[in-house]
């Protein structure tokens, strides 16, 4: 459970129990240039198997991490 202290999130309560789940990664396809979001991978092998959601190409690059204000990176 996430608690607020003085209007701010208490970092000791954020982690695996984040109510919104893991953050998303933003990817760009090198073939069709489509930009899309996917949940953060659980490991390197899961990320290797990712493909563009539009054209199916495996040639994708990770652009950045998309977090919510409630769940910081790693949350």
Q: What's 26's domain CATH number?
A: 2.20.28.10
Tokens of 51: 């493909």
Could you report the per-residue pLDDT of 6-34, keeping only the tens digit for each? 444 443 333 445 666 678 999 999 999 99
Asked whether the beta carbons of 14 and 67 are under 8 A apart, the reply is no
pLDDT of the residue at 22:
75
Number of domains in the chain: 1
Single pTM value for the model: 0.62
Q: Is residue 41 part of a domain?
A: yes
33: Cβ contacts below 8 Å, ≥ 6 apart: none
Separation CA 41–CA 39 (nearest Å): 6
Residues forming a β-bridge with 64: 26
Provide the domain limits for residue 60: 20-66
Percent of the chain with pLDDT over 70: 61
């Amino acid at each position: 459970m996430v608690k607020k202290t003085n209007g701010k999130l208490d970092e000791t309560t954020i982690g695996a129990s984040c109510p919104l789940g893991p953050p998303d990664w933003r990817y760009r396809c090198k073939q069709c240039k489509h930009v899309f979001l996917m949940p953060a991978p659980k490991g390197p092998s899961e990320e290797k198997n990712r493909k563009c959601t539009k054209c199916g190409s495996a040639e994708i690059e990770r652009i950045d991490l998309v977090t919510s204000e409630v769940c910081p990176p790693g949350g």
